[in-house]
Structure 1
Amino acid sequence: MLTVLENSRVSPPPATVGERSLPLTFLDMIWLSYFPVHQVFFYQSTHSKQYFLDTIVPNLKNSLSITLQHFFPFAGNIILFPNASVEKKPQIRHVQGDSVAVSFVECTLDFNDLTGNHPRKCDTFYPLVPLLGRVEQVSDYLIIPVFSVQVTLFPNSGFSIGITNHHSLCDANTRYNFLKAWSSIAKHGTDEFFLASGSLPFYERVIQYPSSLDEISLNIPGLPAINMEYQPPHLVSPTDKVRATIVLTKARISGLKNWLSTQLPKQEYVSSFSVACSYIWHCIAKSHVHIGERKGEDDVERFNCMVDWRTRLDPPVPQTYFGNCVGASLTSKIKSTILAGNNGFLTAFELFTKALSDTLKKKNGVIVDGERVIKTAFLPVPGFNVSGSPKIKFYDLEFGWGKPKRHETISLDYHSSISVNASKESDADIEIGVSLPAKQMDVLLSIFRELDGTLQ
C-alpha cells in the first residue's frame, strides 16, 4: 500500500532557536496521557511524481524549517519526570539539533474515495498519519516527541499532508496558527507575509492559577498514570468503524434555528454551532437506541464541548498564546431514550446551551471550576466530545497548490467524538465529521435523511 520515498528530519534554520524551554501549565498537563491528535489534509493535483519530488518535497521541507524557527516547541520534546512535582514540572524543551520527523511516501489508495462524504473505512486512513517518535528514558525523566509529519503522494491524483501532535503541545487554535504560518511560507517562499500578519506565537505563561491544579492534572481519574514505560497511544487496525461527513447547509441551519425560535421564544441567541452539535447529538442518540446499544444502566450520556478561554480570561490572554487554553463544558447526563425521542433535538439544544452558558458566565471559570471539571471530564460516561470549531478555517490552508479538497480529523476514532468545522463550499455551511461502527453509521445516515426538512 505504501512505498517510502524519503525519510527526513527537519530542524529550524541553524542558530535561530538554540536552547529554549516552555513550562507546561495545568491546561497542558491534563492531556499528558491522552491520545495524540491526527489530522489529514488532501490536496488535488495532477502534477507528475517527478514534480512532486523536485518541487513539492523541497518546498514543504524548507518552509517547515522556517516555520519551526517561529514555532520552536513543534521541533522540541516534552521533558517529563514521572514523579513530577511543583519543583519538577513538565516542560517542552528545544536544544540545538532537535528536529521533526518528516516522511514522504507513495500509496495506491483511491484518492477520490478517501475525499468523499460517504462512509469510508476508518483504518484505511491510518497509513496516512505518522506515529510520534518513541519515548526515550534518560536518567529519571522521559523525552517525549511532540510532532511528526507524513506527506503521501497519490499518483496522478494529489497528495495528503498528515500531521500528528501530542495533545500537551497545543490545542486546535495554536495548531491552526502553526499551519497557517507553514502554508503561508510555503506559498510565498518567505516568512515576510507571516511576519506582517502579526501572528507570532505568544510564549509567556501569563495564566495565573493555584499550584494545586498542577498536582490534580497529573493524577486524573479515568486516565492511565504515566510511568517510565510510557509510550503514546496509537490507532490500531482492524476496526469496524467507518467515517462519514454530514454537511448542514446554511438553509438547513436557518430552518432549524427558526424551529427552535418558535419552541423557545425567550431564547435570545441561537448559534449555528449549538444547532449543529445539538442536532447531530439527537441523531446519534436515535441511532444508539435503534441498534439497542443503550440499555439499562448504559442508557445515559452527556456531551462535552471544549471552550477556548483566551479572550474569556480576566485579564484576557493574547489570541496567539501558544499551548492549550481550553476547558470542558459538560452537559448534564441524560437518558439516550429521551434524546432519541420526538423532543430529543429540543432537549439536546437546551442541555447544550445551558452547559455552555453556565461555563462562560463564570469569571475565569476554567480556573475557578478547574478541579471539578478535571475530575469529571475524563470519567467514562457514554457520550460525545466535539473537536474543531466553525471559526477555524481549515479549508483556507493553501500551500501553493490550491485549497484542500478534504480535511479529516482521524483521532475521532479513539473514542466517541465528532468534528465540527466550516465547510469547504461555504463558511456558512457546517461540516460534521462522524466516526461510528459501520452498522450504526448506516442507521445514522438513514435517520438524518428521514429528518431532513421535518423541523423546518
Structure 2
Amino acid sequence: MASTEPPKAVTIHERCRIAPSSDGGSEQVSLPLVFFDMVWLHFHPIQRLIFYNFPCANEHFMETLVPNIKKSLSQTLKHFLPLAGNLIYPLESGNPEFRYIPGDSVSVAIAESNEASDFHYLTGDEPRDADRFYALVPALPRPEIDFESGFKRIPVFAVQVTLFRDTGICLGLTNHHAVGDGSSIVGFIKAWSAVSMLEAASELSAANFPFPFYDRSVVKDPSGLGNAFWSQMNVSRIESLPLNFPTNKVRATYTLPKNDIQKLRNLVQAKKPGLVHLSSFTITTAYVWTCLVKSAAGAGEEVDDNEPEYFVFAVDARRRLDPPVPAAYFGNCVAFGMVESTHGQLKVENGFSVAVELIGEVICKRVNNKDEILRDAESWVSKFSGLVRKRAMGVAGSPRFDLYDTEFGWGKPKKYEVVSIDGSESMSLCKSRELEGGLQIGLSLPEKKMRAFAAIFSAGLKI
C-alpha cells in the first residue's frame, strides 16, 4: 500500500528552532507577493541535499560542529528574514504575503544515519533507490490555521544536518518555492557558507557578500498579472499532488564534459548550419530531452508518433526585464519558456537537432527579448497546469548554479542532489564538480526507463 511517509533510516538527536540573531530581527517585516511568486503558490517544496566527505565522530559533531551550524545559520538568517517567517495565506479575502515577526524561526533537525555506509551509496552516480534519500530531507512544519485572524500560516524553510559517523555529513534544505527561486535560495546557501567560514561565525558585510534586495517595487506589473494570477490560484486551488512511497524510481547522475557538449554542438552545426543559439544549456537540455523520448520504447511505453512532447524551462528574468531587476533581488523572478514537438519528431535520428532548434528559437525570440519575455504571461498558470499528466520534461537548476564551492569547514561538497525532481519528470542541472565547463544532470525515473535512457545517452556520445 502506498504511503505519503518516507522511509526512516536516521536517528533524530535533536529538533530545535533557530531564529535570526537578535541584532538583525527586531522588527516585523512584510513582503507582498509579486506575480512571479504567485505562480509557485501550490508547487511542491524544493528539496536539496549537499553531501560532504568529512569523517567525524559523533562527539565532535554534536559538541563542535552543531553549535557552529546553529550560530552561523542564525547570523545568516538576519539578512534573510523571509526564510525565518511564514507565508500568510488568507482563508477568505485579501492577498497573501510573506511575514516575519520577531520570534519566528526555522525548524532544524540534527540527525545521524543508522548506516554510515549509506554515504558512499547515496553519493554515487549509478542508479540508486530514490526512496533512500528522503530520510535526509527535512519536512516543512505543518501549516497552522488562525481562524480568528482569518489566515493560514505556512512555514517556508527547514534544515536537517545528518552525520554519517566517521564518513561524512549531509546538509538537507527544503523551501517553499513561492519564497524564492533558485537564484535566491542558492544565494542564501552561499551566504550561509560564507558566514560559517568567517572566524567565530561572525557576520556578512557588503565587502564579502552582496546583501539580498527585497524592494518589490522594482518588479513592474502594469497589466495586473499579480491580481490575475491570485484569482486563478485562489479560485481553482491548483495543488501539487503528494509524493507517495515507494516512489518506484531510481536516481542517477550523468555528466556532460565540455568536450562532449562541443561534440554535440558540432553535430548540430553540421546538420543545421544556420542555427545561432547553441549554448551549453540548449545543447544539454535538448540532448537529455531527446534521449528520454527515445527511451520510451525500451521502457515498454507505447506512445503514438503524434503524441505531443513538451519541454518547459524557467529562466532568470532579472536582467531581462525592462527596467532590469537587481541581481541580488530575493524572491521569484523567473519567466518561462515552453517548447512543443511530437514523439515521432524527437525519437528519430535527427530528433536531437530538431530539439536544439526549437529550444534555441524560444530562447532567442522570447527569453532574450525584453519585449517578448512576458508576452502571454497571463496564461502561465493555466498553460502549465494543463501539462499535468502529459508528456512534459522540465528543468530544476541552471548551469549558472555552482553549489560545489559551498564550504562549511568540511571541505568542498562531494555530491549535490535535487531530491524534489522525484515529484515530476524533470532533470536537475548544475555545474560539474570536477570538470571545468562540464554540466551535471540528475534524473529520477523508473528503473527500466533509466536503463534504456543510460544506453541511449552513452551511445549518442560515441560520435
Q: TM-score, normalised by structure 1?
A: 0.93
Amino acid in the other structure paired with 1:91: E
Contact 1:289 1:337 in 2 (8 A): no
Alignment counterpart, residue 213 of structure 1, candidates 213, 216, 225? 225
* Partners of 1:328 and 1:377 within 8 A in 2: no
What pairs up with 1:11-160 in 2 under 5 angstroms?
Answer: 11-17=19-25, 18-84=27-93, 88-109=94-115, 110-139=118-147, 140-160=150-170
- The answer as to 2:451 corresponding to 1:451 is no
**Does structure 2 retain, via aligned residues, the 8 Å contact 1:306–1:327?**
yes
What are the superposed Cα offsets for residues 377-411 of structure 1, whole Å, 9 maximum, x if unpaired? Answer: 23123210101111111101111110110000000
Q: CA deviation at 1:210?
A: 3.6
State the 1:27 CA deviation. Answer: 0.7
Amino acid at match of 1:348: A
Q: Distance in 2 between matches of 1:368 and 1:452?
A: 37
Residues 387 and 417 in structure 1, CA contact (< 8 A), matched pair in contact too: yes
Conserved in 1, the CA contact under 8 Å of 2:365 and 2:372?
no
Secondary structure of the equivalent of 1:22?
A: strand
Provide the residue aligned with 1:199 in structure 2: 210
Match of 2:331 among 281, 305, 323: 323
Contact 1:221 1:379 in 2 (8 A): no
In the TM superposition, what is the alpha-carbon distance from 1:149 to its structure 2 partner? Answer: 0.4
Q: Any conservation in 1 of the 2:304–2:344 contact (CA below 8 Å)?
A: no
Measured at CA, do residues 210 and 430 of structure 1 come closer, stay the same or move farther in structure 2, by a change above 3 Å?
Answer: same
**SS of equivalent to 1:137:** strand
Shift of 1:219: 4.6
Q: Whole-Å Cα distance in 2 between the matches of residues 22 and 444 of structure 1?
A: 44
Partners of 2:166 and 2:235 in 1: CA distance = 44
CA distance in 2, matches of 1:193, 1:213: 35
Alpha-carbon separation, structure 1, partners of 2:140 and 2:83: 12
Q: Aligned with 1:301: secondary structure? A: strand
| Whole-Å separation in 2 of the counterparts to 1:191 and 1:248 | 39
Offset of residue 201 of structure 1: 0.6
Q: What amino acid does structure 2 have at the position aligned with 1:169? A: V
What does 1:320-359 correspond to in 2, within 5 Å? 320-332=328-340, 334-359=341-366
CA distance, structure 2, for counterparts of residue 448 and residue 385 of structure 1:
18
Q: Does 1:275 align with 2:283?
A: yes
What SS does the aligned partner of 1:311 have?
helix
CA distance in 1 between partners of 2:301 and 2:101 (Å): 50
Equivalent residues of 1:184, 1:194 under 8 A apart: no
> Measured at CA, do residues 104 and 325 of structure 1 come closer, stay the same or move farther in structure 2, by a change above 3 Å?
same
Q: Structure 1 pair 19/386, CA: closer, same or farther in 2 (3 Å)?
A: same
AA partner of residue 4 (structure 1): I
Deviation at 1:294, TM superposition (A): 4.6
3-state DSSP of counterpart to 2:179: coil
The Cα shift of 1:16 comes to 2.1
Structure 1 residues 267 and 253, CA gap change in structure 2 (3 angstroms): same
Q: Deviations over 1:398-439 (max 9, x none)?
A: 111101100000000001100111000024111000111111
Provide the rounded CA distance (Å) in 1 between the counterparts of 2:233 and 2:100.
31
**Letter paired with 1:274:** T
CA contact (8 A) 2:251 2:444 kept: yes
Alpha-carbon distance in structure 2 between the residues aligned to 1:287 and 1:220 = 36
Given that residues 329 and 356 in structure 1 are in contact (C-alpha distance below 8 angstroms), is that contact kept between their aligned partners in structure 2?
yes
Unaligned runs of 5+ in 2: 1-8
Q: 2:182 aligned with 1:176, yes or no?
A: no
Paired with 1:298 and 1:23, the residues of 2 have a C-alpha distance of 43
Query: Is the CA contact (8 Å cut-off) linking 2:305 and 2:342 kept in structure 1?
Result: no
- Contiguous gaps of at least 5 residues in structure 1: none
1:63-87 per-position Cα deviation (integer Å, ceiling 9, x unaligned):
0000010000000000111445xxx
- Does the CA-based 8 Å contact 2:305-2:343 persist in structure 1? no
Q: Distance in 2 between matches of 1:215 and 1:298?
A: 37
Q: Is the 8 A contact 1:221 1:378 kept in 2?
A: no
**Identity across aligned pairs (percent)?**
39
Matched residue type, 1:326: V
Residue 411 of structure 1 aligns with which residue?
Answer: 420
Q: Tell whether 2:174 aligns with 1:164.
A: yes
| Aligned with 1:293 (options 293, 301, 306) | 301
Q: Is the 8 A contact 1:29 1:168 kept in 2?
A: yes
Question: Which residue identity is paired with 1:347?
Answer: V
Most deviating of 364-373 and 60-69: 364-373
TM-score (norm 2): 0.92
Instruction: Please say which of residues 139-148 and 298-307 is displaced more in the overlay.
Output: 298-307
Give, in angstroms, the shift of residue 222 of structure 1: 12
Q: Is the 8 A contact 1:72 1:94 kept in 2?
A: yes
Distance in 2 separating the partners of 1:212 and 1:113: 49
Aligned length: 446
